[in-house]
Amino acid sequence: MEPYELAKQAAKLLDSKKAERINVIKIDDISSLADYFLIATGISSTHVRALADEVEEQLKQKGAAPARIEGYRSNSWILLDYSGVVIHIFTQEGRDFYDLDRLWADGEKVDWQG
């Protein structure tokens, strides 16, 4: 699956599971870390884990498995690294603290709903 398509699919999955403030940022022109960052918020640490589990399971069924997963022991942030797409799922407090939206503001916001 191409990174753009994976980012859109993941954003739609997160939206269907009531994630908040879903933001897809194209960063390939400004970073070699990935092509896209997807940032989303869950309403609690339990919701964050459920969102991460759902994305991992649904994308795995479509043939995409993460190269790395970080943060399951954290109460505020889980990262799913699909190489071309890095998915960050935060609690509100974690998102406010790390403020990745501001750090990657030079990236291009992607309309994943269209």
Q: For residue range 41-59, what is the model confidence (pLDDT) as tens digits?
A: 999 999 999 999 999 999 9
**Total domain count for the chain?**
1
Residue 65 three-state SS: coil
| CB within 8 Å of 63: residues ≥ 6 apart | 1
Domain harbouring 64, CATH code = 3.30.460.10
Label residue 26 by pLDDT band (50, 70, 90).
very high
On whether residue 64 sits in a domain, the answer given is yes
On whether residue 108 sits in a domain, the answer given is no
On whether residue 56 sits in a domain, the answer given is yes
Residue 91 three-state SS: strand
Question: Where in the sequence is the domain holding 43, given as residue range(s)?
Answer: 3-100
On whether residue 110 sits in a domain, the answer given is no
The mean per-residue pLDDT over the stretch 61-83 comes to 94
Cross-strand bridge partners of residue 87: 38, 80
On whether residue 32 sits in a domain, the answer given is yes
The mean per-residue pLDDT over the stretch 8-13 comes to 97
The pTM for the full model equals 0.96
Identify the pLDDT of residue 74.
85
On whether residue 114 sits in a domain, the answer given is no
On whether residue 105 sits in a domain, the answer given is no
